[in-house]
Amino acid sequence: MQLTFCRLRTHQWCFILFNVVLFHILLFGADLVEEYFLRTLPAPYADVKVQEARERARKLDLSSMKANISKAFTVSNSEVCSGKEVFLLVLVFSNPENSTRRDTIRETWANLTHVGGYGTLVLFVLGKPSSEVTQLEVTKESETHQDLIQGVFLDSPGNQTLKILVAMEWTLTFCPTAWFVLKTDEEMFVNLPTLVEYLLNLRSHPEDLYLGRLVHREMPDRDAGSHGFVSPSQYPEKYYPDYCSASAFVLSQDVVRKVYVTSKEAPLSLPPGVFLGICAQKAGVTPVHSSRFSGRKHIQYNRCCYKFIFTSSVARGNQLLQEWEELRNSKDCSLLQTYYGLVSCRVMTYLDGFKHFSIDALQNDALRVSD
Ligand SMILES: *[C@@H]1O[C@H](CO)[C@@H](O)[C@H](O)[C@H]1NC(C)=O
Ligand SMILES: *[C@@H]1O[C@H](CO)[C@@H](O)[C@H](O)[C@H]1NC(C)=O
Ligand SMILES: *[C@@H]1O[C@H](CO)[C@@H](O)[C@H](O)[C@H]1NC(C)=O
Ligand SMILES: *[C@@H]1O[C@H](CO)[C@@H](O)[C@H](O)[C@H]1NC(C)=O
């Protein structure tokens, strides 16, 4: 009797264990496989053109750029970086109209000047607004906070690639000593402490780093009626090179030089992420994937999950404020807590996607019926 009971229990335990293992494989397996297959291969240094580009980057003369650069910026805040040890320079791409959002960012994740003794500096990159009134507000905002960089181009969806180029010029001219540069967008939440810790734990001399959420073998949009149409004359090949989602990616300072040098050879009309991917490829820099970057996706809030990931898209400012309030005042998470935080936010994000998906499907059905 006792024996049968024990044996049954063993079976039950096995069954439960099997389910738990299966659950975790389904949940994290894709990430592990992804990270394995998207590992960096050694860059093709052998290519003569790549070698030549890297040589040009090494010899890039920045002093001549300095002489001309004032013409490229309305607001340059050229002194914010000098005399400081900046480990991570964060460039947040923002719309001139969205000063409320910038305030929210200043009050939340960007309210940091260093992590464990390593300096961080958060700046906003803007173009010019279409209205004079907004420009006056931007000038005032810059005087108050001294954390804006404003280029002379019009801030429009079509000029975001130009914005990347201008941000790189600014970095090379006014902040060439920053070790790493994070490019991100204003709708993102960024976990700076975790990201800095991760960067500190890289090899002792981190070079050729281009890290983010990898977009693998994407095809150019060939639909002539679509907003993001890319003609074969702009980009003839079938696939884009692998690149990091433009929502957030990290470059080491040497990579900023390298991609700047090759940027003349890539068309500015391509989407910003793709543009950078092409420049990086020409410079022999391979993008590295990390699933801790969310891309444009919103990761459902969970305290220990948010302490682990690098970014999440949080479109609503008040949501960001609320979550930040809890996050800032909370204790560290143990390994087990982090693990279950990740399980929880993974499942919730998945269900969320499913909800959107089914709502979209319902709406499509409704449209079809009304047609
Ligand atoms: C600086 O400007 C002058 C005149 O506009 C131009 O000839 C020169 O090539 C520029 N230098 C750089 C480094 O862009
Ligand atoms: C930044 O955080 C400090 C406390 O760490 C707080 O006193 C300060 O008001 C915050 N700044 C903003 C702009 O919220
Ligand atoms: C980009 O900025 C330039 C300079 O302000 C402007 O002439 C051009 O129309 C803008 N391009 C787009 C696509 O908005
Ligand atoms: C920024 O402003 C644009 C246009 O004014 C708006 O569409 C967008 O939602 C705003 N983004 C954020 C994060 O507030």
The verdict on the CB of residue 156 being under 6 Å from ligand 3 is yes
| Out of 5-19, 37-51, 53-67, 70-84, least confident range | 37-51
Q: According to the model, what pLDDT value does residue 8 have? A: 65
Q: Give the pLDDT mean for 346-368.
A: 64
Q: What is the pTM of this model?
A: 0.86
| Out of 31-40, 147-156, 244-253, least confident range | 31-40
**Separate counts of helices (H) and strands (E) for the chain:** 12, 11
The verdict on the CB of residue 153 being under 6 Å from ligand 3 is yes
Identify the residues whose C-beta falls under 6 Å from ligand 2. 106-107, 111
Q: According to the model, what pLDDT value does residue 344 have? A: 87
Distances (CA, A) of 283 to 48, 49, 243, 250, 295: 11, 8, 13, 16, 24
Would the pLDDT of 312 be above 90?
Answer: yes
Point out the ligand nearest to the CA of residue 68.
1
Q: According to the model, what pLDDT value does residue 41 have? A: 57
Q: How far is the CA of 261 from the centre of ligand 1 (A)?
A: 16
Axis-axis angle for helices 160-174, 272-282 (nearest 10)? 50
Q: According to the model, what pLDDT value does residue 74 have? A: 87
Would the pLDDT of 370 be above 50?
Answer: no
Other beta carbons less than 10 A from residue 24's beta carbon: 12
Q: What is the pLDDT of residues 31-68, one digit of tens each?
A: 666 666 556 555 556 688 888 999 899 888 887 777 77
What domains are defined for the chain?
Answer: 43-296 (3.90.550), 301-371 (no CATH)
Rounded to the nearest 5 percent, the helix, strand and coil shares of the chain are 50, 15, 35
Question: What is the 3-class SS of 90-110, one letter each residue?
Answer: EEEECCCCCHHHHHHHHHCCC
Return the closest-CA partner of residue 341 out of 312, 306, 310, 311.
Answer: 306
Helix (H, G, I), strand (E, B) or coil at 121: strand
Q: What is the pLDDT of residues 160-218, one digit of tens each?
A: 999 999 999 999 999 999 999 999 999 999 999 999 999 998 866 688 999 999 999 89
What is the separation, in whole angstroms, between the first and last Cα of the chain?
68
The CA distance from 193 to 306, in Å, is 11
Give every CB contact of residue 337 below 8 A, 6+ residues apart in sequence. Answer: 304
